[in-house]
A = this chain, B = another copy of it.
Amino acid sequence: MTLAHTGEFGLIERVVERLSVPLAGGAGVDMLLGPGDDAAVVRAPDGRVVACTDVLVEGRHFRRDWSSPLDVGHRAAAANLADIAAMGARPTGLLVGLCAPKDLPVAWAEEFSLGLAEEAASVGAAVVGGDTVASPVLTIAVTALGDLENRAPVTRAGARPGDIIALAGRLGWAAAGYTILSRGFRSPGLLVNAFRRPEVPYAAGILAAQLGATSMIDTSDGLIADAGHIAKASGVRLDLRRSYFELPTQMADSANALGVDPYEWILTGGEDHALVATFPPDVMLGGAWREIGVVREGEGVTVDGAKWTSAAAGWDHFRTDVG
């Protein structure tokens, strides 16, 4: 059965049914009015709301033959929830715009919705609303909302020379998984699954804000590109230390087998949604945070004091294709 059979309203009914499945365990406590009206109403106890939008396009951000609809749902939610976490906020709700070809199996849309709701529920948030339209290209636009819990938002603009640069989450795993899939392989599963479904260190975002982070960003475009946004907004240089980065053996082995420099994945690969933050020098890092460098006077991003030269400088969606 495809969307041509159910129509828009039939699809919405089925999707909304799936969305309410995983609302156990406290997820949805902020949803005062959910799907089914002109708009949703979500609690914003802080008197401010944090909001961001991220779009995934088939063939560019995901492929249906590489990822299950459940994976795509998880990833679409994660990409947005990570942005909320990167402000030091607690996610409260998601809205989804689903643009689907008429021949999309209804089961795909249902499983996708389940993945979206599951990922949101993992941080206590719910899918509160959305829109479905027909389109020749399967496109997923997600908006995430969050609450700052009376903290100041952690922007990209507060890094100061002397600050410690720290990382929470994985780097290079998604890029490695993508390279493996694009060469026609399906293993190691650890890396391929990291591309299919990122593991975002959500709790580290709020912890960073509590620890007094001076700046923070979600690494969706690759570490060097995203650290560059902090450098530019803060008017400083971010100097990363290569020896501080973990290189899992699976990644080292895959890089070797594929003839790739694994640090290219780690330093420039996108879509892992790790968090990068800067902290005052006397911070006691905790949780998932670990040191990866130091903030200095100057501009741009360096690795061990020198400019990193590589084929790719990060993911620019108008220049690079995923698949």
Q: Which residues of A are interface residues toward B (Cβ below 8 A)?
A: 3-4, 6-9, 11, 32-33, 36-57, 59-61, 83-84, 86-87, 89, 93, 95-97, 99-100, 102, 128-137, 139, 141, 143-146, 148, 153, 155-157, 216-218, 233, 316-319
Contacts and interface: CB of A to CB of B under 8 A. Distances in A.
Nearest to A129: B52
Contacts of A83: 38-39
A136 B134 contact: no
A145 B60 CA distance: 28
A42 to B, nearest CB: 5
Contact of A155 (B11, B37, B128, B130): B37
Contacts of A97: 53-55, 97, 141
A53 B143 CA distance: 8
A203 to B, nearest CB: 16
B39 A84 contact: yes
Given A52-B129, A102-B318, 13 more contacts: A8-B317, A8-B318, A33-B153, A37-B155, A38-B52, A38-B216, A39-B51, A52-B131, A57-B134, A60-B134, A97-B141, A134-B318, A137-B139
A48 B57 contact: no
A38 B233 CA distance: 12
A50 to B, nearest CB: 5
A318 B156 contact: no
A275 to B, nearest CB: 9
Contacts of A38: 52, 83-84, 86-87, 156, 216-218
Contacts of A39: 50-52, 83-84, 86-87, 89, 144, 146, 153
By Cβ-Cβ distance, the 8 closest A-B pairs, closest first, are A141-B141, A44-B44, A39-B52, A55-B97, A38-B86, A143-B143, A53-B95, A38-B83
B51 A128 contact: yes
A55 B133 contact: yes
Contacts of A36: 156, 233
A144 to B, nearest CB: 7
| Most chain B beta carbons < 10 A, residue from A11, A43, A318 | A318
A8 B37 CA distance: 34
Nearest to A157: B37
25 contacts: A3-B318, A4-B318, A7-B316, A7-B318, A7-B319, A32-B153, A33-B153, A38-B86, A38-B156, A38-B217, A39-B83, A41-B50, A42-B48, A42-B51, A52-B129, A53-B96, A53-B130, A57-B134, A60-B135, A95-B143, A132-B317, A134-B317, A134-B318, A135-B137, A139-B141
